[in-house]
Amino acid sequence: MFRDTTFKAANKKRELIIFGACFAAALILNVMGIIKHQSPARELVTQLHVVLFLTLVFYGIVIILRVLYYMISRLWIRK
């Protein structure tokens, strides 16, 4: 029923780059919030759990968009 799968190094690298970009976007949003609200710089460390959660949310959105793109492109090719 289930089979073993292996991920190629290129796929791992691509996913790591996408996750890193999501982390960078979340971190930039955190820095912008700190500057806008004139909070102390320690917020970068104390709010890291929020940044990681936001990273996962961004990554989830990216996954949904990639799946939608894949499904639409499959429908387009079949016609």
Q: Who's near 62: CB < 8 A, 6+ residues apart?
A: 18, 22
For 54-79, write each residue's pLDDT tens digit: 999 999 999 999 999 999 988 887 65
Q: Who's near 19: CB < 8 A, 6+ residues apart?
A: 55, 59
For 29-59, write each residue's pLDDT tens digit: 999 999 999 999 999 999 999 999 999 999 9
**Is the pLDDT higher at 38 or at 3?**
38
Per the listing, tokens 């996962």 go with 56
- Residue 15, pLDDT > 90, answer yes
